[in-house]
Amino acid sequence: MTESINSNMQERYVTVNGNKIRYLEDGDSKDAIVLLHGLGGMAERWLGVIPFLSKRCRVIAPDLIGYGQSDKPQTDYTPEFFRETMLGFLDALSLHSVSMVGTSLGGEIVAECAATQLPFIKKIVLVSPAGIMKKATPVLDAYTMAALCPTHESVRNAYQMMVGEDLEIDNQSVENFILNMTRPNAKMVFLSTLLGMKNSPAMTERLQLIKIPVLLIWGSKDKMIPIEYAKEFTDLIPNCKFVTMNGCGHIPYQERSAEFSKIVLEFLFK
């Protein structure tokens, strides 16, 4: 599990609805894929998979509005706000044919985008997505406390609870999280996002609107959003393929990056 920037990657910024969005980009294929991180995350969360995916795709990984080095406007961070900002981001980059991958909160945002049935979104991958679970788990509680009081001990403990067995948490991941959660307004954004997710209706009806091919990936040892929630996604989404990554926790794209990337690429280009 590592978060250090590859020298071939470009760091860029674009303005969406008056707000600066930072993103990482790699690869020069005509096939574009956008990667959306989860609650409290940043683009660096995807650094393990970008070298694999960029061999086949143009990979774009933004810091979500309010997170990382993107702007943090004073607003309500609802799923609708994230969806509209992300659609504006795709438009600003002229991404008129794109696949999307989202994890946790990012998975909910990707599903919200796909539910609009906009024709330029071709396929999506949801990784342990939020949107159905409305109650906290002990891991989410620990992660929230780490975000609000980010010490090396609290962050390392929360990360260790998130992953599967025997995965070492590296210092860079801990330092990145602490840096990002101590930026101005970061805690406000985190809490507003939690409230927005909790108070919004479960996205059961909107999942049924997704008509494009969907790949659902879940770690069998996920204690943040338990794998039991996968059934509602597979039952509600008409064209959904489900893959379990055995032994993984909430972040299989970091826990087993090569295997995760292979699963995604086979789905996108089979």
- Only one residue has tokens 């479960």, namely 202
Beta carbons within 10 angstroms of residue 147's beta carbon: 23
What's the confidence (pLDDT) of residue 2? 46
Average pLDDT for 32-45: 97
Residues linked to residue 23 through DSSP beta bridges, in sequence order: 12, 62
What's the confidence (pLDDT) of residue 160? 93
What's the chain's average pLDDT? 94
What's the confidence (pLDDT) of residue 93? 97
What's the confidence (pLDDT) of residue 167? 78
What's the confidence (pLDDT) of residue 5? 52
What are the tokens at 96? Answer: 């008129």
Residue 165 CA to residue 170 CA, distance in Å, equals 15
Over the stretch 46-97, which tens digit does the pLDDT of each residue have? 999 999 999 999 999 999 999 999 999 999 999 999 999 999 999 999 998 9
What are the tokens at 146? Answer: 């780490």
Residue 212 CA to residue 238 CA, distance in Å, equals 9
If we measure between CA atoms, which residue out of 133, 163, 157 comes closest to residue 145? 157
What are the tokens at 269? Answer: 């280009």
Domain positions in the chain are: 10-269
Percent of the chain at pLDDT exceeding 70: 97
pLDDT over 80 at 115, yes or no: yes
Residue 262 CA to residue 248 CA, distance in Å, equals 15
* Higher-scoring residue by pLDDT: 202, 250: 250
Give ∠ CA 108-206-39 in degrees, rounded to 5.
10
Contact 133, 120 (CB under 8 A): no
Q: What is the pTM of this model?
A: 0.95
Q: Which of 133-142, 168-177, 221-230 has the lowest mean pLDDT?
A: 168-177
Over the stretch 24-33, which tens digit does the pLDDT of each residue have? 999 999 999 9
Radius of gyration of the chain (CA): 17
| Amino acid sitting at position 126 | L
Residue 10 CA to residue 251 CA, distance in Å, equals 24
How many residues does this entry show for the chain? 270
Residue 250 CA to residue 260 CA, distance in Å, equals 13
What's the confidence (pLDDT) of residue 165? 67
Where residue 225 falls among pLDDT bands split at 50, 70, 90? very high
Tell me the CATH number for domain 10-269: 3.40.50.1820
Pairing of strands 19-26, 10-16: antiparallel
First-to-final CA distance of the chain = 28
Residue 24 CA to its chain's centroid (Å): 14
Over the stretch 140-194, which tens digit does the pLDDT of each residue have? 999 999 999 999 999 999 999 999 766 788 889 999 999 999 999 999 999 999 9
